[in-house]
Structure 1
């Protein structure tokens, strides 16, 4: 992948540890939008027992220089404690949760259940004409499942966006 000038682009999964206070997420998003950087995925939630800290996981892409700028600018925001580019720092896990609604009857229902079993998707709601499947995995797995469900009767998808964590003993906190 490369930009208009032919410079190599890469995807980056960036974990940001921040103070859990009003306006922090808006400041992070503002940093991206104000500079024309795209956010492919964004998740945020409190991560400590007292609720003082939140972890933001941002998936973005750009040239190496752009990714370095993003990390440096994030690191300069006052409520930010730590910025970690999981993509560069070693092995890490990335997962997403999706709820997928499929509507159909007869053979389409049977095929939907067969595919769900193959992809380890779980039925979390069922009516005589629809299923809602719950699925976790990487984005490619969820995309592949949805592509197969489209001709069967895919009607709606709700996705969380990526969450990520380093493998082994390396940790963002502590």
Structure 2
């Protein structure tokens, strides 16, 4: 299939920013003001002196729109660097989720079986429910949640995507 200029594609953007009050609000406001959607957003302090944070944003759009987003993010003063992990080459991305599933009898057994297949870890259990911890790609977590929905999914909490370039290169 040939990708045309206007087809929407998923992009994982990694930003390094000065750890300043309001930077997250400015970035989210930039997306909102221009009608761009954020599918996932994570923020974490990445330096020992707490001066720099990494923000990972997952968004969708045609290449032209993604280029605009990157250019506008680059113009924000506390933003040091914006890297589109999707474009730079091989990268690793992961998300963590806590998945609460209720069930007894066969549903309980099936939930444990599926958790084993997906390498989900039981982090809490009662006689009527489990909380599983699962780490992986967004697709893996979506699939696990979909299967658990059929058994007795109660709720799910997700961290959002984080990603790093493979190899010795740094963002």
Per the TM superposition, whether the score is higher than 0.5 is yes
- The CA RMSD measured in Å over matched residues stands at 1.2
Whole-angstrom CA distance in 2 between matches of 1:116 and 1:153: 13
Whole-angstrom CA distance in 1 between matches of 2:81 and 2:128: 48
Residue correspondence of structure 1 range 9-20 to structure 2 within 5 A: 9-20=8-19
Q: How far is 1:21 from its partner?
A: 1.3
Tell me the TM-score normalised to structure 1 length. 0.94
Q: How far is 1:142 from its partner?
A: 0.5
Residue 150 in 1 paired to residue 149 in 2?
yes
Runs of 4+ in 1 over 2 A off after TM superposition: none
- Which residue of the partner structure matches residue 48 of structure 2? 49
Whole-angstrom CA distance in 1 between matches of 2:96 and 2:126: 22
Whole-angstrom CA distance in 2 between matches of 1:146 and 1:112: 11
- Which residue of the partner structure matches residue 75 of structure 1? 74
Q: How far is 1:151 from its partner?
A: 1.6
Counting matched residue pairs gives 168
SS in 1 for 2:25: helix
Return 5+ residue gaps in structure 2 as ranges. Answer: none
Whole-angstrom CA distance in 2 between matches of 1:151 and 1:38: 29
Return 5+ residue gaps in structure 1 as ranges. Answer: 1-5
